[in-house]
Amino acid sequence: MANNKTLEGKIAIVTGSSKGIGRAIALRLAQDGATLVLSARTAADLAKVEAEIKSAGGKATSVAGDLREPAAPAALANAAIVAYGAIDIVVNNAGATKRGDFFALTDADWIDGFALKLLGAVRLTRAAWPQLKARRGSLLNIIGAGGRTPGPEFTIGGSVNGACQSFTKAMADIGIRDGVQVNAINPGRVKTERFQSMIAAETAQHGGDVNAAIQEIVRKLNIVRVGEPEDVANLAAFIVSPQSRYLQGALIDLDGGQTKTI
């Protein structure tokens, strides 16, 4: 996709932007001209992404904090307004949920799973909405394929993702009334740090050959390949660009063909 600065003058918050998909989205939106407000728990990791954006001629600021804390999302939105005077784009990307045997997962695991990915997104959306409404902005939720096709090792994640998808549809309806674009991306398997740790056991079964382990995942899921963070970033940039305003309430599966249901 050509770099034509389609987001020049836009202020974008991206949560979970210190690594993986969030980092890739932040870098891509900055490349397209947006000013970034980066959010994650670890200040040192955020500083690296901020420096990367600035070294490429972009503008960014970092707000470290734990979005599981009830007051943190509103503080993030306020920090964006203090720094740049507006919010045009919110990308709710933060949130990882614990996998494992259902009977081994505790109430605390479930509560933690919903606290960041769902409630963090809900609270940030609430806090940023007046700005998004005033600026006719865009809300994009990065959710996951597990919301459509839950699995036995993903009871928490599937439930949280399903809730996030429902939340997206509801906010899209409000967005029609208020002039705010609302959509979601459901990534499948993507080569993030979390993915690399997940395939450690699979790698061991293939004599330490990571490529063989990845190919086995591709075979089992019957997908074209495992995704890259940039795949999600490219789609995110397209969705929040001015040319995509007809897209509303969409839950787009970006998973190499993993989701087989209609």
Residuewise pLDDT in 10s, the chain (262 residues): 445 799 999 999 999 999 999 999 999 999 999 999 999 999 999 999 999 999 999 999 999 999 999 999 999 999 999 999 999 999 999 998 999 999 999 999 999 999 999 999 999 999 999 999 999 999 999 999 999 998 999 999 999 999 999 999 999 999 999 999 999 999 999 999 888 877 877 777 767 788 888 999 999 999 999 999 999 999 999 999 999 999 999 999 999 999 999 8
Number of domains in the chain: 2
- Contact at 8 Å (CB) between 161 and 241? no
Note whether 67 and 182 are same-domain residues. Answer: yes
In a domain, 2, yes or no: no
Note whether 104 and 121 are same-domain residues. Answer: yes
Note whether 117 and 104 are same-domain residues. Answer: yes
In a domain, 138, yes or no: yes
Where in the sequence is the domain holding 241, given as residue range(s)? 11-189+228-254
Note whether 135 and 236 are same-domain residues. Answer: yes
Note whether 109 and 25 are same-domain residues. Answer: yes
CATH no. for residue 244? 3.40.50.720
Note whether 76 and 177 are same-domain residues. Answer: yes
User: What is the rounded distance in angstroms from the CA atom of residue 208 to the CA atom of residue 211?
Assistant: 9
User: What is the rounded distance in angstroms from the CA atom of residue 15 to the CA atom of residue 13?
Assistant: 6
User: What is the rounded distance in angstroms from the CA atom of residue 119 to the CA atom of residue 117?
Assistant: 6
Note whether 138 and 198 are same-domain residues. Answer: no
Cβ neighbours of residue 28 closer than 8 Å, sequence gap 6 or more: 230, 233, 234, 236, 237
pTM over cut 0.75:
yes
Give the distance, in angstroms, between the CA of residue 117 and the centroid of all CA atoms in the same chain.
9
User: What is the rounded distance in angstroms from the CA atom of residue 166 to the CA atom of residue 251?
Assistant: 10
Note whether 131 and 234 are same-domain residues. Answer: yes
Neighbouring C-beta atoms of residue 251, cutoff 10 Å: 18
